[in-house]
Amino acid sequence: MDSNKKLGLVGRNISYSFSKKFFEDKFQKLMLKGYSYNIFDLSEIKEVENLFSAPDLLGFNVTIPYKEKIIDYLDELSDEAQKIGAVNCVLIQNGKKTGYNTDAFGFEKTLLLHKKPHHTSAIILGNGGAAKAVKYVLDKNGISSITVSRNTEINFENLDKETVENHKIIIQCTPVGTFPNVEDCLSFPFDGLSKDHLIIDLIYNPNYTQFIINASEKGAKTVNGYYMLEQQAEKAWEIWNFQKK
């Protein structure tokens, strides 16, 4: 491998990133010299243009709030990224910038690990880039879903207990409750939950968000975002290292 390969994470206010430690551990485990993983904290997306001129940049991950905005700066999208409308992984090859969505891969692995036969319909909380990847995976697996956000017809104010009772998978895709704001929790009718429910909160820091704590008190099966995060990172690593054009 070449002597110097740069990777990193593009986002805003991302000092708490899991990815840096994950990839630095990987470089160590694989005894790879000359790889680095940096945090590219951008106050606005157009600053990404400076990044593209950096020599030896192999690619980068993309996180909140740029998964959708990054698309305008890329040359090409994978089929999945195109269908989802969000990118969380960019490969740079011979100056060509290609966007991928590995969130879908990570979420699908999580879903299939925990899904039971009665889990046939879902509520997606939030409508950002991660929520779009979640919806894509649910559609692909024949699971009907409704999206609840601040400005959808069913929103955080009017989502009722009965709707929650009728949808046995709930996926929390907003950043509400992420460290350091661990006390925060979406307004949600937790009384509609039961032991038949599967709750997936995409947040991984803290391990147990207030949302997960509230849901588990109702007997629901709860899963955080850690496994999805690991899996999407593994997939990104594959894209950066094994693309043969």
What torsion, rounded to 10 degrees, do the Cα atoms 222, 151, 89, 66 define?
Answer: -130
> Residue-wise over 147-178: b if at least 16 C-beta within 10 A, else e?
bbbeeeeeebeebeeeebeebbbbbbbbbbbb
| Pair 97, 206 in one domain | no
| Pair 146, 60 in one domain | no
| Pair 65, 171 in one domain | no
Name the residues annotated as catalytic: 67
- Judge whether 242 lies within some domain: no
Q: Note down pLDDT in tens along the chain; length 245 residues.
A: 445 899 999 999 887 678 999 999 999 999 999 999 999 999 999 999 999 988 899 999 999 899 999 999 999 999 999 999 999 999 999 999 999 999 999 999 999 999 999 999 999 999 999 999 999 999 999 999 999 999 999 999 999 999 999 999 999 999 999 999 999 999 999 999 999 999 999 999 999 999 999 999 999 999 999 999 999 999 999 999 876 44
Q: How many domains does the chain have?
A: 2
- Judge whether 114 lies within some domain: yes
Q: Which of 229, 123, 107, 242 is nearest to 186 (CA)?
A: 123
| Pair 133, 218 in one domain | yes
- Judge whether 30 lies within some domain: yes
How far apart are the C-alpha atoms of 126 and 130, rounded to whole Å? Answer: 8
Q: What is the CATH number of the domain that holds 109?
A: 3.40.50.720
| Pair 193, 78 in one domain | no
- Judge whether 56 lies within some domain: yes
- Judge whether 213 lies within some domain: yes
| Pair 204, 92 in one domain | no
pTM reported for the whole predicted model: 0.93
The answer to whether the bond into 206 is cis (omega within 30° of 0) is: yes
| Pair 126, 138 in one domain | yes
- Judge whether 235 lies within some domain: no
The pair phi, psi for residue 86, each rounded to 5°, is -150, 150
**Pairing mode of beta strands 169-172, 198-201:** parallel
| Residue the block writes with tokens 């195109």 | 82
| Pair 97, 108 in one domain | no
The number of helix segments (H) and strand segments (E) in the chain equals 8, 11
How far apart are the C-alpha atoms of 124 and 131, rounded to whole Å? Answer: 7
How far apart are the C-alpha atoms of 110 and 203, rounded to whole Å? Answer: 13
How far apart are the C-alpha atoms of 105 and 122, rounded to whole Å? Answer: 18
- Containing 130, the helix (H) or strand (E) segment is helix 129-140
- Judge whether 23 lies within some domain: yes
Domain of 92?
Answer: 5-101
- Judge whether 182 lies within some domain: yes
